[in-house]
A and B are shown apart, each in its own frame.
Chain A
Amino acid sequence: MGHEQIKGRADEKFIHDLKLVTEEWFANIINHGYVDNETGEIEIELVAVTDGIRLTVIDSAPPYNPLENNHKQPVQDFSQGGMGLIIIKSLTDEQHYNRNETQNVFSITKHYNPDR
């Protein structure tokens, strides 16, 4: 068995969590990034990596790095966007943000980790 072989599989919990993370990030883009737009494009890419899934979401909204967002509001204020980012960070193993000329490129990786 080669090391490149896919390790683990997506169980029900994994799929739920990935769905929730996707919902949270989409809601964030629509509610904040595209807030002044009637329409806007969101591109989504799912890649099976050796031990999990990498999800990349690309939008053309103004620059916004969710990883630099220092939550000034305490959780107790229950801002939806703030809670969404906490959920994304808690349910994924890696998060990367990159801004190219016109787009926000946010990707997360989630391992098939039964402990998480």
Chain B
Amino acid sequence: MPLEITITDEPKNGKRISLAGSLDTDTAPQLEASINESIDSSVTTLILDMKDLEFLSSAGLGIIFMTMKELNSRQGKIILINLQPQIQRVFDIIKALDGMSIFKDREEMDVYLAAMQQKVLDGE
């Protein structure tokens, strides 16, 4: 199964990568290349939308964790949304969700981001 990658802009130097299909040994290099090409050091928030991602193996996890480390090293963050149950299970097995925020859907993420923004505005 191929991997489809769609990259769109988000507010405040954010980017969203929507993945569809299979992120596995065959396709992980494609994602790595897309990230290297489109996610430069100005990007502080990277949203990985996995709504149409059906299959994820350790090769794909490797790219996601590498990107997470890179973003964390410059105070950026990676946000995962719309994980299907089989994808969530792979993350659960590896139990390496530190440094990542996971939301059920876009709405839940927006509520979180609005709350974060409010905290900043309140000077907390």
A residues within 8 Å of B by Cβ? Answer: 13, 16, 19-20, 23-24, 26-27, 30, 75-76, 78-81, 83-84, 86-87, 90-91
Main SS class of interface, A = helix
How many chain B residues touch A (Cβ–Cβ < 8 Å)?
17
Query: With an 8 A cutoff between CB atoms, is B59 at the interface?
Result: yes
Contact B59 A27 (CB under 8 A): yes
Cβ–Cβ < 8 Å partners of B96 in chain A:
75-76, 78
Contact A83 B61 (CB under 8 A): yes
Contact B86 A16 (CB under 8 A): yes
Most buried by B among A81, A87, A91: A87
B residues within 8 Å of A by Cβ? Answer: 24-25, 55, 57-59, 61-62, 65-66, 86, 90, 93-96, 98
Interchain CA distance A79-B94 in the complex, whole Å: 11
